[in-house]
Amino acid sequence: MKPDYKIEITPARQQQLLDVLYIIKECSQQLGEKGIKYWNNSLIDFHEIDNDTDNGYVCLLKVNYISVGTITIKPDNQSDKTLLIGRLAIHPAYQKKGFAQKLISWSIDKGKEANYKILKGYSPTDDTALLKLLEQNNFINEGEVPPPKKEYVRLVFEKTL
């Protein structure tokens, strides 16, 4: 029997920035233990997440009022028809329960509601769970993009809305 969860996805408020950073830190550590290099948790990342939170782009997924997941969803500076998703993270204790799927579905719905035509995201090439999730949601693997750092090889995924 599936447990009853009260699930809520809302923009993160500035007071919830530590929740967002904690979830990302835990997932970053978990990925690192698997040999996946993607988030480096630098001061630059903190400032970007802080700024994205101020702009209402960072969202929290709460389960029974506890912050367990986060995603960033924001307009692409390159195209007014494209919405970018990033920093999809579910706290390790809450993974494998369908919460990442809920964030992806929610992002797709938000993009459609706001009349975006494309939803785009990036994934490290070796994060097979994320690659599988994106492909299950009909994102097309557009191939590698130049990484910001040599050790971070990324794939770009797009979905037409």
**The CATH number of the domain where 56 resides is what?**
3.40.630.30
Nearest to 89 by CA among 111, 104, 76: 104
How much of the chain is helix, strand and coil, in % rounded to 5? 35, 35, 30
Please check whether residue 2 lies inside any domain of the structure.
no
Instruction: Tell me the pLDDT of the chain (161 aa) as tens digits.
Output: 466 789 999 999 999 999 999 999 998 888 888 877 666 666 567 888 999 999 999 999 999 999 999 999 999 988 899 999 999 999 999 999 999 999 999 999 999 999 999 999 887 766 788 888 999 999 998 887 765 555 555 678 999 99
Where in the sequence is the domain holding 134, given as residue range(s)? 7-160
Which residue matches tokens 């195209």?
79
Please check whether residue 113 lies inside any domain of the structure.
yes
> Starting from the edge strand earliest in sequence, which strands make up the sheet with 118-124, in order?
7-11, 58-63, 66-76, 79-90, 118-124, 154-160, 140-145
Distance CA(27)–CA(147), nearest Å, equals 20
Which residue matches tokens 């919830």?
16
| pTM given for the model | 0.87
- 3-state secondary structure (DSSP) of residue 5: coil
Please check whether residue 103 lies inside any domain of the structure.
yes
Check if the beta carbon of residue 49 is closer than 8 Å to that of residue 21. yes
Distance CA(95)–CA(69), nearest Å, equals 9
The number of folded domains in the chain is 1
Please check whether residue 32 lies inside any domain of the structure.
yes
Please check whether residue 97 lies inside any domain of the structure.
yes
- 3-state secondary structure (DSSP) of residue 84: strand
Please check whether residue 1 lies inside any domain of the structure.
no
- 3-state secondary structure (DSSP) of residue 149: coil
Distance CA(147)–CA(155), nearest Å, equals 9
Residues whose CB is less than 8 angstroms from the CB of residue 65 and which lie 6 or more positions away in sequence, other chains included = 6, 8
Which residue matches tokens 């979905």?
159
Please check whether residue 34 lies inside any domain of the structure.
yes
